[in-house]
């Protein structure tokens, strides 16, 4: 079976690309760094990849708004490549700044390239949130996430992560089950309360997908916790008599990438 190829899209200001590369490579994909200019100059093409991944960071210094300049590049210069990639059933993933970019292209939540339906606004706290939170998957069209029923712990690192839209659009998103993750409290229930909800996102939304389930984005960083040793408290966890961690050796974000890559292999 051929390994799926992953385009990890870079631009000026991208800074979570190495963690994302490691996560894909760990679960047997073939990630490759691709600068957006290489796609614009046509020295590389999205048709050669099965997964397009937009990492976190501060693309173009968050000028205008987080992810806005990169979104303009994608909709203005790479529109046809992206449309063909989606038509050929490619998977599109945006994490943090990548998620901000996808909503500003209009690809999320309704795959309306060029039409922005939702936004990711400044956090209600008024400052950058950099810590660990808990999230839980919702049932959605994103089939490779549906089996992931357990709450997971992930890192957040953002200043503009509040998912917001008008009431009509929010109801449409909920009716179509496009929410893939929600922020949860210590009782594993969706919450609007800070600090469990780090940004004040409507309906505790941490991530969404499009109706096909192949385009998805989230503010938390599953790629930063694919190994147990990436958690700051891993040394405090209980160990079995054989010296192995009492919990799984994979980090909580591992299954996210493992399932995605398996799905890409079967598509």
Question: What integer pLDDT is reported at residue 267 of this predicted model?
Answer: 77
Question: What integer pLDDT is reported at residue 200 of this predicted model?
Answer: 99
Instruction: Note whether 104 and 65 are within 8 A (CB).
Output: yes
Look at residues 163, 32, 190 and name the one whose alpha carbon lies nearest to residue 102.
163
Q: CA 98, 103, 109, 115 torsion: positive or negative? A: negative
Classify burial at 149, counting beta carbons within 10 Å of its beta carbon; exposed 0-12, middle 13-18, buried 19 or more: exposed
| Catalytic residue ranges | 96, 221, 223
User: Average pLDDT, stretch 79-106?
Assistant: 98
**Distance separating alpha carbons of residues 181 and 107, to the nearest angstrom:** 18
- The CATH number linked to 232 is 3.40.50.880
Q: Could you tell me the residue range of the domain that residue 41 belongs to?
A: 5-266
Question: What integer pLDDT is reported at residue 2 of this predicted model?
Answer: 85
Tokens 């059933």 map to which residue?
89
Q: CA 76, 67, 179, 252 torsion: positive or negative? A: positive
Tokens, residue 60: 């173009």
Quick: pLDDT tens for 254-265: 999 999 999 999
Question: What integer pLDDT is reported at residue 146 of this predicted model?
Answer: 81
Question: What integer pLDDT is reported at residue 246 of this predicted model?
Answer: 58
The four Cα atoms 151, 152, 157, 160 give a dihedral, to 10 degrees, of -30
**Distance separating alpha carbons of residues 23 and 17, to the nearest angstrom:** 10
- Under the banding of pLDDT at 50, 70 and 90, the label for residue 266 is confident
Quick: pLDDT tens for 42-75: 999 999 999 999 999 999 998 888 999 999 999 9
Percent of the chain scoring above 70 in pLDDT:
96
Tokens, residue 223: 């790629």
Quick: pLDDT tens for 212-256: 999 999 999 999 999 999 999 888 776 666 665 556 678 999 999
Number of domains in the chain: 1
Helix or strand or coil: residue 67? coil
**Distance separating alpha carbons of residues 192 and 67, to the nearest angstrom:** 25
Look at residues 173, 193, 92, 178 and name the one whose alpha carbon lies nearest to residue 133.
193
Question: What integer pLDDT is reported at residue 147 of this predicted model?
Answer: 85
**Distance separating alpha carbons of residues 177 and 263, to the nearest angstrom:** 20
């Amino acid at each position: 079976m051929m390994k799926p190829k992953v385009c990890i899209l870079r631009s000026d200001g991208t800074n979570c690309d190495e963690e994302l590369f490691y996560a894909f490579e760990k679960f047997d994909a073939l990630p490759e760094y691709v600068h957006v200019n290489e796609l614009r100059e046509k020295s590389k093409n999205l048709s050669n990849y099965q997964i397009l991944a937009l990492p976190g960071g501060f693309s173009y210094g968050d000028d205008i708004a987080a992810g806005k300049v990169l979104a303009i590049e994608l909709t203005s210069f790479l529109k046809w490549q992206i449309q063909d990639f989606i038509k050929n059933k490619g998977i599109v993933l945006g994490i943090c700044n990548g998620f901000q970019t996808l909503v500003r292209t209009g690809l999320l939540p309704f795959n309306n390239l060029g039409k922005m339906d939702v936004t990711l606004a400044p956090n209600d706290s008024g400052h950058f949130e950099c810590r660990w939170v808990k999230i839980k998957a919702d049932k959605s069209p994103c089939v490779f996430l549906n089996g992931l029923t357990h709450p997971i712990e992930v890192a957040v690192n953002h200043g503009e992560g509040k998912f917001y839209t008008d009431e009509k659009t929010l109801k449409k998103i909920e009716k179509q089950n496009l929410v893939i993750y929600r922020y949860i409290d210590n009782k594993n229930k969706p919450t609007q309360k800070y600090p469990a909800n780090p940004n004040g996102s409507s309906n505790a939304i941490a991530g969404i997908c499009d109706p096909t389930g192949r385009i998805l984005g989230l503010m938390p960083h599953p790629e930063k916790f694919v190994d147990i040793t990436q958690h700051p408290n891993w040394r405090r966890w209980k160990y079995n008599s054989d010296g192995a961690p009492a919990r799984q050796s994979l980090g909580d974000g591992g299954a996210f990438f493992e399932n995605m890559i398996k799905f890409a292999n079967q598509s």
